[in-house]
């Protein structure tokens, strides 16, 4: 089910430890339009370290989000986490027929997959001619334990939806970055652009060149740490702390005692990721721009602070910046949540492959 493009409209469904977000898009005259959107809090204890442990509860939350969004499609694109997937570029003869290529990939797959093949879901995609061997093709092989796929497929079925595409989160993120090309120098062509996508409990730092990911790093840091600091400092439960974080109403010392140290941590995490990137290969060049995404990107002035401390231009990433938005999606505050929709948007874009 991996990587196969589908012509039918698909809901992009992003299932994380903190929230379930879905977005439905259309394309007309070369312009995307958000048709429907909704987000729902992930039920407590239904997901553990990105693995769905209660698909019934998750399915009920998905169903609520679908109902509130008014989405028309019953088919979805979903993603497994990058650390649940095995990816490998392998070389195949360019003279093989489609059937022969498929047979050869199947024969070679077990060399790269450290699990019994009957416990694995895998797929492949031809990237193109090999740079150094013109008679060979570079083929991307992607695999995961079948249980990782089945958990998400089952949750969708519980919500009355059918999973038509199972992608991998880093691939979905790369796809969605084209929606932010309007923010990038030269549209991202021949330029290094960094994207820091801050989730609730983890962050993905990627560097793109020509809108293709050339480096990615995941690390355990996210907005949940700010929520927990608010809980600790002001004696609030998680729900109230999360609401105050977004809507305000915290004591006067919140900025200096809680928020500023958290922003310092954000800067340190990005700085460390930049250092890892520059050390990861020869001829690495500093990115010209850092796009800050995820819920943390909505902290007032955070992009400007990151820019001033790291000496690199930083902006709040907005994948919806050049899209039309339906009244129905506006009512669900899709613009407010835009920075956190990279994965969901990347999945919805599979409709137009």
pLDDT tens profile 12-21: 999 998 999 9
Question: Tell me: the pLDDT tens digits for 31-49?
Answer: 999 999 999 999 999 998 7
The per-residue pLDDT for 1 is: 52
**pLDDT tens, 167-210?**
999 999 999 999 999 999 999 999 999 999 999 999 999 999 99
Please report the pLDDT score of residue 2 as a whole number: 55
Alpha helices in the chain (DSSP H): 55-69, 98-112, 146-158, 169-177, 223-234, 238-247, 254, 260-278, 302-310, 327-331, 342-348
CA angle 45, 48, 49 (to 5 degrees): 150
Q: Residue 96 carries which DSSP code?
A: -
Whole-model pTM: value is: 0.91
**Is the confidence at residue 87, as pLDDT, over 60?**
yes
pLDDT for residue 8 is more than 80: no
Angstrom distance (rounded) from CA 118 to CA 295: 39
pLDDT for position 333 = 94
Question: Rounded to whole angstroms, how far apart are CA atoms 69 and 39?
Answer: 8
Q: Which domains does the chain have, with CATH numbers?
A: 11-82+148-177+323-352 (3.30.420.40), 83-146 (3.30.1490.300), 181-316 (3.30.420.40)
Residue 101, both tokens? 């290529």
Asked whether 169 and 74 are in contact (CB, 8 A), the reply is no
Give the pLDDT of residue 6.
Answer: 47
DSSP for residue 149: H
At 101 the three-state DSSP class reads helix
pLDDT at 323 exceeding the cut of 70: yes
Q: Which pLDDT belongs to residue 316?
A: 97
Q: How far is CA 281 from CA 116, 242, 277, 284, in A?
A: 33, 40, 8, 6
């Amino acid at each position: 089910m991996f990587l196969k493009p589908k012509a039918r409209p698909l809901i992009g469904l992003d299932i994380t430890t903190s929230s379930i977000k879905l977005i439905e898009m259309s394309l007309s005259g070369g312009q995307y339009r958000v048709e429907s959107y909704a987000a729902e809090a992930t039920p407590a204890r239904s997901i553990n370290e990105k693995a769905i442990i209660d698909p019934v509860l998750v399915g009920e939350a998905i169903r609520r989000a679908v109902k509130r969004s008014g989405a028309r499609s019953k088919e979805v694109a979903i993603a497994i986490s990058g650390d649940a997937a095995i990816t490998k570029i392998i070389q195949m003869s360019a003279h093989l027929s489609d059937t022969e290529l498929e047979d050869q990939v199947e024969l070679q797959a077990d060399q790269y997959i450290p699990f019994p093949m009957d416990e694995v879901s895998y797929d492949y995609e031809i990237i193109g001619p090999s740079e150094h061997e013109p008679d060979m093709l570079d083929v991307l092989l992607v695999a995961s334990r079948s249980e990782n796929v089945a958990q998400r497929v089952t949750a969708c079925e519980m919500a009355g939806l059918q999973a038509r595409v199972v992608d991998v989160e880093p691939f979905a993120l790369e796809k969605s970055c084209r929606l932010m090309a309007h923010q990038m120098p030269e549209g991202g062509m021949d330029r290094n652009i960094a994207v820091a996508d801050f989730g609730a409990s983890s962050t993905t730092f990627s560097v793109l060149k020509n809108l293709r990911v050339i480096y990615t790093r995941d690390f355990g840091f996210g907005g949940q740490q700010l929520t927990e600091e608010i809980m600790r400092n002001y004696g609030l439960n998680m729900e109230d702390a999360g609401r105050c974080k977004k809507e305000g109403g915290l004591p006067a010392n919140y900025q200096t005692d809680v928020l500023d140290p958290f922003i310092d941590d954000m800067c340190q995490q990005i700085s460390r990721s930049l250092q890892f990137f520059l050390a990861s290969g020869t001829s690495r060049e500093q990115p010209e721009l850092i796009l800050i995404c995820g819920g943390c990107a909505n902290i007032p002035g955070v992009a400007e602070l990151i820019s001033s401390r790291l000496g690199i231009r930083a902006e709040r990433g907005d994948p919806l910046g050049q899209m039309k938005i339906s009244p129905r999606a506006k009512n669900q505050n899709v613009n407010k949540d835009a920075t956190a929709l990279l994965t969901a948007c990347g999945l919805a874009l599979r409709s137009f492959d």
